[in-house]
Structure 1
Amino acid sequence: MKVFRLCMAATALASLLAGGVATADPADQLEHIRPMLVAPPNVMAHEQATKAKPKVVEFTMTIEEKKIVVDEEKGTTLQAMTFNGTMPGPTMVVHEGDYVQLTLINSSKNTLEHNIDFHAATGALGGGALTKIKPGEQTVLRFKADRTGAFIYHCAPEGMVAWHVVSGMSGTLMVLPREGLTDGHGKKLHYDKAYTIGEFDLYIPKDENGNYKSYDTPLESYGDTVEVMRKLTPTHVVFNGKVGALTGKNAMTAKVGETVLFIHSAANRDTRPHLIGGHGDYVWDGGKFANAPDRNLETWFVPGGSVGVALYKFKQPGVYAYVNHNLIEAFELGAAGHVKVEGKWNNDLMKQVVAPSPIK
């Protein structure tokens, strides 16, 4: 009996240290679901609106430290740190009132301690204080999604937050209103496709000859990378981890008449997305759906540490450039992507009246 009481006391103490109390948890009475996460720019399958009761939505992500190619043409590499092996990590989607339950795994092949800070969560440094795991460990965090919007998540180890974030460790959690998106005046909004664009400022060290250096582990790159970071001048600004990640054969796709939701995360630096030849029909530049969206924007602003969301219905076919409208960062440093749109051209919207010809 004494042993039983001691065990119960230890269990209660552990619960208190984890930020809770040894009482019945409302979330334990709810349905648990385990949707499949997918690699960006794609977004997991989800309902845009729901009449169902709140659920516990269980996700699993594995932290992977690995070398990636940032620029194939130049052979430039980055010793990256990632959630599920991608930059950005997968976009999770739940509804307001749901619980997010994440099993976070730090692979035994890794060399560093990691954690996760959800900007959507309340308390304990966004969960960062409760998710510190060394290589070969895992942890489970659960929190209530009590506000709508698209939010950053990122790694946040003490003393190394910036390094982990600019090395690839960020992603998006989107919390939809249970009734779905609206224009702020009662009109329901719907999208046919959703894409995730994660913008990264990278700081890759160079050797004495001006060539980008390569490293075998993240820790090996740490000192040199921090030295470059502190100059606040990125060597690359890219979408989804590399130059050309969303261009050519990797372009996003749509059809004339389709409405696309663009989810643009910027974990560290401000950015200003622009769709060349298109617009933001509805834009939540702060990414928060409780606020009415702006209308008909040409370029929108996404502050560092947040996610901007834009909705656009394509009206013309062709290749659209999706860029950071700091054009130096877009065309010189890599922050550009494509959307390939199929369909019939509408001359009423645009046509070439006179083809180029010699001046008379």
Structure 2
Amino acid sequence: MPADTLVRVQQKMEDAKTVDLSGLERVQQKLVRPPFAPKHEQVASGPPKIVEIEMMVDERLMVVDEDTGASIWAMTYNGSVPGPLIIVHEGDYIELTLKSHTRNVLEHNVDFHASTGALGGGALTHIYPGEQVKMRWKAVKAGCFTYHCAPGGAMIPYHVCHGMNGALMVLPREGLKDRDGNSLTYDKIAYLGEQDYYLPMDQNGVYKTYSNAGDDYADSLEAMRSLVPTHSVFNGSVGAVTGRGAITSDVGETVLMIHNQCNRDSRPHLIGGHADYVWESSFTDPPLRDMETWFVRGGSAVAAMYTFQQPGVYAYVNHNLIEAALLGATAHFVVGGEWNNDLMEQIEEPGPLQG
């Protein structure tokens, strides 16, 4: 952001009336790594609060695909791709302390799509390695929203496509409801960040490696201009949410799946299941019902709720199946419980053709 623009924003803030929040309760929210969610209330108790959070900018070398050796100097909040899920209620104030490791090499900030003014807070949070900044904003819209780094110019897509994005959920104070106003609750949250990477390759098709964060800048911009990702993955790397990283659940358990995609459209589908309810970003609008595949616009986060009916492994995929099967956009839910033959039954095992 140009320095004169930042000065104008800060001057307007200095000229504005001071807001007295001394009577509000302060609470600290401990952020956790994806696919998990921080402790929170589904229905808000009491009046709005000031929710204090802290995020550390961490530039770190991450393996994207162990089979090919593909890696990236990821730009992260709190060391993970995506950044941690933040959960507040409508009317709450978010007080963020943003820090940057001294070992980092680049400038960073954060733009909250859920916030109002100053480029989503991006104009007020620019920091360099070894610095920190504090900002407060009010959550006035209920829904799921993305947040991301936006230093300016080509550095915006460069940082976003290096993993520097995440999701924030602003719950209605009375909790989630169906179109008839009935309360909806969930047993757990599964937070899935879909990340598109554009990793540079040499003339032999081998992924390049770099010694430091930022060294790949020119090569990455060239790869990004193709608009064709080399990888599209959940939670940072190929297979991160499969095998030992799979999300576990049980028959009868209701899971709120939060899907963030900061840069490209996506079409989530739960193979073997559905979405009982889908909120396309806003919790103000009635949820969609009984969706087979739902839509995530690039630059947004979506919430989908499902109660598992059968045990087994469910594949959660981007139903652009090229991206799911070839680029890595697949996660697994492993569900325990008893099988219900009324819902599905194999009548005859595979065998030779008859007749």
Identity %: 55
Paired with 1:17 and 1:217, the residues of 2 have a C-alpha distance of: 37
Partner of 2:156: 161
2:97 and 2:314 map into 1 onto residues whose CA distance is: 38
Return the letter of the residue paired with 2:30.
Answer: M
TM-score of the superposition, structure 1-length normalised? Answer: 0.94
Query: Aligned residue for 1:279?
Result: 274
Q: Output the aligned Cα RMSD.
A: 1.4
Cα deviation 1:285-342 (Å, max 9, x = unaligned)? x221001010000000000000011000000000000000000000000000000000
- Give the Cα separation in 2 of the matches to 1:79 and 1:336: 22
Q: Distance in 1 between matches of 2:325 and 2:204?
A: 24
Gaps of 5+ in 1: 1-12
Q: Is the 8 A contact 2:9 2:118 kept in 1?
A: no
Q: Secondary structure at the match of 1:225?
A: helix
Name 1:81's counterpart in structure 2.
75
4+ residue runs over 3 A deviation: 13-16, 20-24
How many Å separate the matches in 2 of 1:28 and 1:222?
45
The equivalent residue for 1:226 is 221
Match of 1:90 among 76, 81, 84: 84
Letter in 2 for 1:336: T
> What is the count of residue pairs matched by the alignment?
347
Partner of 2:49: 55
Q: Distance in 2 between matches of 1:319 and 1:300?
A: 20
- 1:283 Cα shift? 0.5
In 1, distance between residues paired with 2:68 and 2:12?
Answer: 47
Structure 2, unmatched stretches of 5+, are 1-6
The CA distance in 2 between the partners of 1:14 and 1:205, in whole Å, is: 39
Matched, 1:352 2:346: yes
Letter of the aligned partner of 1:30 in structure 2?
L
Match of 1:213 among 208, 212, 215: 208
Note the C-alpha offset of 1:23: 4.3
Equivalents in 1 of 2:225, 2:83: separation in Å?
Answer: 25
The CA deviation at 1:51 is: 3.1
Distance 1:73 1:15 in 2: 48
Equivalent position of 1:314 in the other structure: 308
Letter of the 2:22 partner, please give it: D
1:140 and 2:142 are equivalent in the alignment: no
Deviations 1:192-231 (A, max 9, x none): 0101100011000001221000112221110000000001
Once the two structures are TM-superposed, the CA of residue 24 in structure 1 deviates from its matched residue by: 3.9
User: The residue matched to 1:200 in structure 2 has which SS?
Assistant: strand
2:185 paired with 1:186 = no
Q: Which residue of 2 aligns with 1:4?
A: none
Residues of 2 paired with 1:330 and 1:347: CA distance?
29
Given candidates 235, 245, 265, the residue that maps to 2:240 is 245
* Aligned partner letter, 1:137: E
TM-score, normalised with respect to structure 2: 0.95
What is the match of residue 149 of structure 1? 143
